Amino acid sequence: MSSDAVTRTKPQADRRSTLHTTGQQGTPEVDVRAPRFIAWITSFVLAAGLLLSSGWILLFQTAVFALSAFAGLRYSPYGIAFRSLAAPQLGPVVRREPQSPLRFAQLVGFGFAAVASIGYLVGAPVVGTIATGFALAAALLNATTGFCLGCEMYLFGQRAVHRFASHQPSTRTTSVRATEGV
């Protein structure tokens, strides 16, 4: 049975378009449409901070990133906006994705926004501009194409961890290997 068929046969209460649910392995999942909605709002806020050279606007965005990364996407003001404004207009959820890569992406955004905020607030506008520019580029990439750079970084890191974790060093001593011809 395909995953689309499973989605269609769920009771009506589970078919609502929400930001946060739990997947089959018990991992939090989100509606795949939510990250792009959130990325558009993030892009707007970052662009405003960049155009106005405002550390205060970027400090607000830093707080939003912090909520999303550390507390979860369900507590993000933009996630709440998606659930209450956009999701009811979009209809039932067709696909969900794991929340972990998205939270990592929010953590990366938090880092860039924090550097940008500090840069502008302490009088280093070049640092603020560069950090905001990187965060804005990543947010616009996600908003326009659906490609989440932070999510891809997370998945690359997971593959690297699994690759190195599966390679177990030999427990045989050098003398044993020498006698075996290895």
Question: For residue range 67-120, what is the model confidence (pLDDT) as tens digits?
Answer: 999 999 889 999 999 999 999 999 899 899 999 999 999 999 999 999 999 999
Neighbours of 26 (CB within 10 A): 6
> For 56-66, what is each residue's pLDDT tens digit?
999 999 999 99
Mean pLDDT of the chain, nearest integer: 84
Token pair in block for residue 36: 């792009």
Confidence of residue 20 (pLDDT cuts 50, 70, 90): low
**Quick check: pTM over 0.85?**
no
* Structural domain of 148: 3-180
Report the alpha-carbon distance of residue 37 to residue 29 in Å, rounded. Answer: 16
What is the total count of domains within the chain?
A: 1
Report the alpha-carbon distance of residue 86 to residue 17 in Å, rounded. Answer: 9
